[in-house]
Amino acid sequence: MSGLGAKRFLLAAIAVSIVISAFSHRFNSYYLGVALDVGIAVILAVSLNLINGHTGQFSLGHAGFMASGAYVSALCTIHVLPLVDPRLQPVVFCASLLVGGLAAALAGLGVGIPSLRLRGDYLAIVTLGFGEIIRVVLQNMEIVGGASGLKGIAKLSTLAWVWAFAAVTIYTVAALVNSTYGRGFIAVHDDEVASSAMGINPTRYKVVAFVVGAFFAGIAGGLYAHHKQFLSPTGFDFMKSIDIVVMVILGGMGRTAGVAAAAVLLTVLPEFLRGFAEVRMIIYSLLIIGLMILRPQGLFSFGERRVKAS
Amino acid sequence: MSEFLQQVVNGLALGSIYALIAIGYTMVYGVLRFINFAHSDILMLGAFAAFFLAPKAQAIFGAESVLGAISVILLSALICAAIGMLIEYLAYRPLRDRPKLTVLITAIGVSLLIEFGCQHPAVFGPNPKAFPKLFPAADYHLQGLTISTNDMVVLGSTLVLLGALWFMVQRTKVGAAMRAVAFNHHAAALMGINVSRIISLTFAVGSALAAVAGILYALKAPAIEPLMGIQPGLRAFIAAVVGGIGNLPGAALGGLLLGALETFAGGIPGVSNYRDGIAFAILILILLFRPAGLLGKLQHEKV
């Protein structure tokens, strides 16, 4: 994606989402809900792809980042909205989303620092651990409702917000990876030892990947909170992280467009398969195993980037 | 004081179960250098195998007989050993020369497949089932200290199994082959060792130990269900890393340590709510300060 084309894509996507959103009151609220879910899933999958795909790390804690963003931004709107003029609502919402994203980025920094010394499966288990710790802490915090969940969140997420942020996420990740600086992510993915010999600091790139990925996961969490209007710690468990990981694997690790497509597919498909809810995870797991053995580069990758196994 | 000793007993009982599971993780990591995420589900399958075998054993040996319990445990271990070998053959062997990450993701896939496959109503169903008593249970009181037969069986069988494993790995030809494969696949193959067979065998031994651990865990737990393996499995994995992954005594030590710490933390009011997070916090601290674990040796990557 060239720089100019990418910027055009970003502006066009934001404009389209605002225009569609203006007519959103005419849509069936069920379809509207699914459309919001899709946008949130795209943000989550594309941001995880920066960590797991482009940089070649393996995070199993994306739901934890999402949770920190969701709770922080929900707390912001709950406590700030009653104090301000109703006309300022969108400003407060946007600010609280960003605060949530920053909180998640801080958590990402916390995970990124141990990753200085760990790789592969160790890192996977540490991120899993971080996700679980965040969940356990939330479960025991009375200020966020504890195990019974956080209620009374205003319904502020609209199509325009969600899809605009999805576009910003895709743009940021694609532009970052394709920039001169961002080549380093791919270098770290391909060979850590060789890239450090070339003067690239793998540790710094890994931490940056974690921080940026977590930031967008936090934004997705904030959008999710103001879409569902209810947060419960159990909604951000290990299985939620696995859901996002499956999107990234299915789309092809390190392929932004494929991952976004997989996020759409895996969010819409279960809606049609409501009657088969109990086999959904069985199909997911068979998909993972089958893909890894037969097509490790993902379903939606057609020579976008050379297949580098590392 | 007696309360403290009681906690020590409880911690040792829990810790030895973790130790048994952790050894499976560490053995597989030793030969294949990847985390077998499905290990925690083998543990669950072991418990379920015993659940279905127990009524049969009761019909033959009579209710709560020692012989019946032993045969149930041995048969479940055999079944799980076969399942472990099957998983290795079907899912991991085709990926032997692929990147580590691919194998790791496959392992997660296998784990999810077993968990959700077993939750399906046609298999075990998601509802908890009461685990039968395998042998006569009694509590012994000793100066204010309560020790159940359960705890004694757990501690006893762990000691016996650890001894047998040590003997196998250190004193037999197969064990030497295992250590050779763990050290270097290619060199081991050049020495005439059938690497695939040794890997298969490692999975069998690890899975059999997991099955025993699963039954012992089920005896302490009120009920069994398809997701019961996840929590002890994660704890045991952490134990293996804390002790230094790939290191057998390390896994046993890590298991006991983790079991004890968790039991003590559970007894402190205020901290007990965070029990689920404690194991992970320990893991992160250990990895930060001793990345190779307590007994492990740090290996530098060579180009």
CA–CA separation, A25 and A38 (whole Å)? 18
Predicted confidence at residue A272, as pLDDT, reads 79
For B203-255, the pLDDT digits (tens) are: 999 999 999 999 999 988 878 999 999 889 988 988 998 888 888 889 999 99
| Residue range B273-298: mean pLDDT, rounded | 79
Model confidence at A148: pLDDT above 70 = yes
How distant is the Cα of B139 from the closest Cα of chain A, in angstroms?
A: 34
Would residue B210 count as lying in a domain? yes
Domain around B110: 2-289
Name the residue among B294, B240, B291 with its Cα closest to residue A118.
B291
In a domain, B34, yes or no: yes
- As a whole number, the mean pLDDT across chain A is 86
**Tens digits of residue pLDDT in B242-272:** 888 888 889 999 999 999 988 888 877 777 7
Which helix (H) or strand (E) is B115 found in, with range?
A: helix B100-119
Mean pLDDT of chain B: 88
Q: Which stretches of A90-158 are assigned E, i.e. beta strand?
A: none
DSSP 8-class letter at A78: H
B11 pLDDT above the threshold of 80: yes
Q: pLDDT tens digit string along B52-102?
A: 999 998 888 887 788 888 999 999 999 999 999 999 999 999 988 888 778
| Model pLDDT for residues A22-31, shown as the tens digit of each residue | 777 777 888 8
Q: What is the ipTM of this complex?
A: 0.81
The CATH number given to whatever domain includes residue B258 is 1.10.3470
Q: What is the pLDDT of residues A181-193, one digit of tens each?
A: 989 999 988 888 8
Residue A83: other Cβ atoms inside 10 A: 8
As a whole number, mean pLDDT of residues A96-116 equals: 89
Q: How many domains does chain B have?
A: 1
Spell out which residues of chain A touch residue B95, defining contact as CB-CB under 8 Å. 292-293
One-letter amino acid of B151: D
| Three-class DSSP labels, B195-262 | HHHHHHHHHHHHHHHHHHHHHHHHHHCCEECCCCCHHHHHHHHHHHHHHCCCCHHHHHHHHHHHHHHH
Instruction: Decide if A288 and B303 are in contact by the 8 Å CB cutoff.
Output: no
Residues in chain A with CB shorter than 8 Å from the CB of B113 are: 282, 285-286, 289
pLDDT tier, A97 (very low <50, low <70, confident <90, very high otherwise) = very high
**Chain A nearest C-alpha distance from B160 (Å):** 30
Among A48, A55, A133, A246, the strongest candidate for a mutation testing the B interface, having the largest count of B CBs within 10 A, is: A133
Asked if residue B299 is part of any domain, the answer here is: no
Is B202 within a domain?
A: yes
DSSP for residue B223:
E
What tokens does A190 get?
Answer: 């391909």
Residue B174 counted as domain residue:
yes
What local confidence, expressed as pLDDT, does residue B300 receive? Answer: 60
Alpha carbon of A32 to those of A21, A23, A39: distances in Å?
10, 11, 11
* pLDDT value for A301: 64
Q: Residue A58 in contact with residue B104, Cβ under 8 Å?
A: yes
Nearest CB to A288: which of B99, B108, B288? Answer: B108
| Amino acid found at B288 | L
Q: Residue B269: phi, psi to the nearest 5? A: -65, 145
Residue B92 makes CB contacts below 8 A (sequence gap 6+) with B32, B36, B103, B106, B107
B273's tokens: 């709510």
Task: Name the nearest CA neighbour of B20 among B176, B178, B205.
Answer: B205
Work out the number of other CB atoms within 10 angstroms of the CB of residue B231: 14
Nearest to B291 among A118, A245, A296 (CB): A118
State the average pLDDT over residues A68-73.
95
Query: Please, are residues B232 and B65 in contact by the beta-carbon 8 Å criterion?
Result: no
The answer to whether residue B300 sits within a structural domain is no
Give contacts of A136 with chain B, Cβ < 8 Å. Answer: 273-274, 276-277
